[in-house]
Amino acid sequence: MKTIAVIGAGTMGNGIAHVFAQNGFQVHLVDIAQASLDKGLATITKNLDRMLSKAVITEKAKENTLNNIATFTSLKAGVANTDLVVEAATENLDIKLQIFKDLDGICDTKTILATNTSSISITQIAAVTSRPEKVIGMHFMNPVPIMKLVEIIRGYSTSDEVTKTVMDLSSKLGKTPTEVNDYPGFVANRILMPMINEAIETLYNGVAGVQEIDTVMKLGMAHPMGPLQLADFIGLDVCLSILNVMYDGFKNPKYAPCPLLVNMVMAGKLGVKSSEGFYDYAESRKAEKVSSQFN
């Protein structure tokens, strides 16, 4: 494989593009909005600069990585002549199904179609294509350049050959690919999201406050980040979406999202992305801007 297309220039998409480009692949980063592409490239550049300042990479490596990335607002142009497409659009079933229908009609028959979905059925996505054996899940973890795990999810029809190809490819990226089966939430979110949801229930029921809950989990369970802070970083809307997928898939009340989470999402308090969730990030961003003016 030489050329990879990444659909979506958001947090996960630009991270995936960064990792492929840094490892010598030609990357086509595709998004419907030029502003999103510009923001994605700025994020990649900022992350490379951080690595450069820590002597993790050289100036030449940074230059090569950026030169390996081309941007496209046209899906047809962006996925032309690619060996693998990794879809990293928003976690919405209808959007993903439409993207895969379009990809199936545009891409060469040899092209492998992967999705970075964190919870949606690979089998369901593959069913809208004429190549279900070439559809697979590649669930990267955030932040992509740092986190080692990639969940490799086989759909019902995903071939052994495609699975091996994607597993080997993930290893070449310096990741640890782990094969899992196609059930709602896979492994990571099937375990993580109920824990986050229970932390929200604990807050909702008045057992303890936000900082107290996170402190117990950090100091008592050796978690690097408390579950409520982690939910803010993931995005409360994303957490809600994943819980709804699992609740719909399993019909088990233990996956039902806490009413507090539902209300916060409806109120637009989505975590870091909206500057407010369980924590208030507005002040820290103001301080960061002021600090940058003096540095």
Per residue in 199-252, pLDDT (tens digit) is 999 999 999 999 999 999 999 999 999 999 999 999 999 999 999 999 999 999
Spell out the residues 6+ positions from residue 290 whose beta carbon is closer than 8 angstroms to its own: none
Domain ranges for the chain: 3-181, 189-290
Distance between CA atoms of 2 and 251, rounded to whole angstroms? 42
| The pLDDT of residue 121 | 96
142 marked among binding-site residues? yes
268 marked among binding-site residues? no
Percent of the chain with pLDDT over 90: 94
Distance between CA atoms of 237 and 243, rounded to whole angstroms? 10
Q: Say whether 179 is catalytic.
A: no
Domains 3-181 and 189-290 equal at CATH topology level: no
Q: Say whether 18 is catalytic.
A: no
Q: Say whether 139 is catalytic.
A: yes
CATH architecture of 3-181: 3-Layer(aba) Sandwich (3.40)
117 marked among binding-site residues? no
Query: CA torsion sign, 178 to 180 to 184 to 190?
Result: negative
Single-letter amino acid, residue 135 = V
Check if the beta carbon of residue 16 is closer than 8 Å to that of residue 116. yes
| The pLDDT of residue 284 | 62
| The pLDDT of residue 245 | 93
288 marked among binding-site residues? no
220 marked among binding-site residues? no
118 marked among binding-site residues? yes
| The pLDDT of residue 292 | 40
Distance between CA atoms of 101 and 144, rounded to whole angstroms? 26
pLDDT band at 290 (very low <50, low <70, confident <90, very high): very low
Spell out the residues 6+ positions from residue 207 whose beta carbon is closer than 8 angstroms to its own: 213
**Which position among 36, 151, 274, 276 bears the catalytic label?**
151
Average pLDDT in the 257-282 region? Answer: 97
Q: Quick one: which H or E segment has residue 204?
A: helix 188-204
Residue linked to tokens 């928003």 = 90
Q: Say whether 151 is catalytic.
A: yes
User: Does the structure show a pLDDT above 70 at 281?
Assistant: yes
- Using DSSP's 3-state secondary structure scheme, residue 211 falls into helix
Distance between CA atoms of 130 and 225, rounded to whole angstroms? 42
**Which position among 116, 118, 119, 197 bears the catalytic label?**
118
11 marked among binding-site residues? yes
Per residue in 16-66, pLDDT (tens digit) is 999 999 999 999 999 999 999 999 999 999 999 999 999 999 999 999 999
Question: Between vectors from CA 140 to CA 32 and to CA 184, what angle results, nearest 5°?
Answer: 95
Query: CA torsion sign, 57 to 58 to 59 to 64?
Result: negative
- Give the closest residue to 145 by CA, choosing from 3, 21, 7: 21
**Which position among 87, 139, 197, 241 bears the catalytic label?**
139
Distance between CA atoms of 161 and 100, rounded to whole angstroms? 20
pTM: 0.89
Per residue in 151-188, pLDDT (tens digit) is 999 999 999 999 999 999 999 999 999 999 999 999 99
Single-letter amino acid, residue 293 = Q
Per residue in 106-130, pLDDT (tens digit) is 999 999 999 999 999 999 999 999 9
Q: Does domain 189-290 have CATH number 3.20.10.10?
A: no
- Give the closest residue to 137 by CA, choosing from 121, 159, 149, 148: 121
Q: Spell out a b/e string for 111-144, using b for 16 or more CB atoms within 10 Å of the CB, else e.
A: bbbbbbbbbbbbbbbbebbebbbbbbbbbbbeeb
